[in-house]
Amino acid sequence: MKLDVLNIQGKSTGRSVELPEDIFGIEPNAHAVYLAVKQYYAAQRQGTHKAKEKWEIARTTKKLKRQKGTGTARAGSMKSPLFRGGGRVFGPKPRNYSIKLNKKIKELARNSAYAHKYSTGSLIVVEDFTIDTPKTKEFKGILNNLQISGKSLLVTSELNRNVYLSGRNLPGAAIKALNETSTYDIVKADVLIISEKSVGQLAAAYDQN
């Protein structure tokens, strides 16, 4: 599996890169991707919601009315959930929403996301580049040269501060280092741009496993 390497002008460099078959050539597992995305969303929840129950409400416990003869149900406290301002029955409590996934499932999900981008023609390999000073206009020009529209994700071998600062204000553009890229990041992007060096790192990481 080979893919041409483009430069930041959007033209071929005359080189091609060998894509790891065990990553980009597998049959995407949709359920594994679903679990990984579900785990990501669950991790974003703070879980700090809290509603007071009857015993936590600070209200009078004085008998409201006589027990019988009123024609209505008996009531012994203003803390009752039946009254406005009373406690809540089975209200939400602080909890941890995080989901645990096995390492193999997470790896399968990430590889499936890479494979899907390759199979749908949404994968671009660019030569490694840097930007001397942070300029949003320069990064936008690179995206235009690559003829990218919609949401894009640039995966670099390591986070370059100037490149990151140049693209962070562009709507729909994301820049991540390879070791910080999640399945959700890949799935969310319409086009995946991966640096030439990152492909080699992906292959090396897979061989180690």
Per-residue pLDDT tens digits for 141-189? 999 999 988 899 999 988 889 999 999 999 999 999 999 999 999 999 9
Eight-state DSSP code of residue 156? E
Both 92 and 125 in a single domain? no
Please report, for the domain that includes residue 15, its CATH number. 3.40.1370.10
Contact status, residue 174 vs residue 156, Cβ threshold 8 Å: no
Q: Are residues 67 and 162 in the same domain?
A: no
Question: 32, 61, 96 — which closes off a domain?
Answer: 96
Are residues 183 and 108 part of one domain?
A: yes
Question: The whole model's pTM is what?
Answer: 0.82
- 134 lies in the same domain as 32: yes
pLDDT exceeds cutoff 90 at 105: yes
Are 123 and 67 found together in one domain?
A: no
Tell me, yes or no, whether 36 and 120 share the same domain: yes
The per-residue pLDDT for 206 is 62
Do 188 and 120 sit in the same domain of this protein? yes
Residue 110's identity, in one-letter code, is: R
Residues 36 and 15 in one domain: yes
Rg (CA), the chain: 27
SS percent in the chain: helix, strand, coil, step 5: 35, 15, 50
Residue 75's domain comprises 46-96
Instruction: For residues 22 and 53, state if they share a domain.
Output: no
CA dist 101 to 19, 183, 192, Å? 27, 13, 24
In this structure, are 30 and 125 located in the same domain? Answer: yes
Q: What is the pLDDT of residues 109-147, one digit of tens each?
A: 999 999 999 999 999 999 999 888 999 999 999 999 999
Residues 140 and 183 placed together within one structural domain of the fold: yes
Number of domains, the chain: 2
Taking only the tens place, the pLDDT of each residue in 72-104 is 998 888 898 988 889 999 999 999 999 999 999
Is 104 buried (19+), middle (13-18) or exposed (0-12) by CB count in 10 A?
A: exposed
| Domain identity same for 163 and 194 | yes
98's CB contacts (< 8 A; 6+ apart) are 39, 42, 43
- Of the candidates 171, 137, 169, the one whose C-alpha atom is nearest the C-alpha of residue 152 is 171
Amino acid at position 133, single letter: T
Residue 41: pLDDT band (50, 70, 90) is: very high
